[in-house]
Amino acid sequence: MDKLVIFDWAGTTVDFGCQAPVEAFELLFNELDLKISRTLIQAYMGLNKREHLREILSYHSACNNDSRIRELSLHNFDELYQKLVVYMQQTTSAYKNTRVIPGVLETVKQLDSMGFLIGSTTGYPKSLMERIQIEAKLQGYSPNCIICGDEVTKGRPSPAMIFENMVRLDVFDRKKIVKVGDTLADIREGQKAEVFTIGILLGSSLLGLNAEEIKSSDSAGLAILLNKTRQLYEDAGADAIATSMYDIPSIVKKLVK
């Protein structure tokens, strides 16, 4: 096979709404007695989790002139990150946060029939992904390659994880490679690798709604949020935008000739 689709994990193929990392950050910030909004947490989604934490703390301390957090970031950052990893282990242990998103299995099966290998990249550390990939495999999802943010020298938006997928799967024609993700960091990662990019709407971190919240939303309000999310992808220069995973095969077919 000489064609490749590379998926993100949380918010794209598992964990509808990308809830597990958000919940982990909230647990950490509650412990630190920090008032950090979900919007700020989601703003840096897609980065490897070490950089994700660093960016949030840096933004908070700068905007609030918070010397306590500045000192913690300078002298105790590794300790804070390890606490975050423990919290992520807790939040990803909930089945709802490792459940394969509707449409993923059907999409992967169709892409396979079209001659595509399936790669993947994630901001999660490898130690955390080992259990998540087992849970996903039990549900029928097992990509040909998994590269974690701490397996490369730079995480997103660096293209390093995409390049590692290309090397391991022996696919190098960038006109036959597509990156699919649910954050702007995914889109930038794909652009830096000079491959096609597709942004996902439903289930995405960028939309920021879990399945229950979508079900309880009124149609007009949901349409507004979807249009705003679509606009963010368009402004970032995504080659295409998929409402859900079910749309991916037809979009990929149009992009890869």
The residues annotated with a catalytic role in the active site are 8, 49
Structure tokens at 64: 């609030």
Q: Are 80 and 61 in contact (CB under 8 A)?
A: no
Q: Are 160 and 134 in contact (CB under 8 A)?
A: no
- Give the C-alpha separation, 30 to 104, whole Å: 34
Classify 18 in phi/psi space as left (phi over 0), alpha (psi -120 to 50) or beta: left
Structure tokens at 115: 């001659």
- Give the C-alpha separation, 10 to 8, whole Å: 7
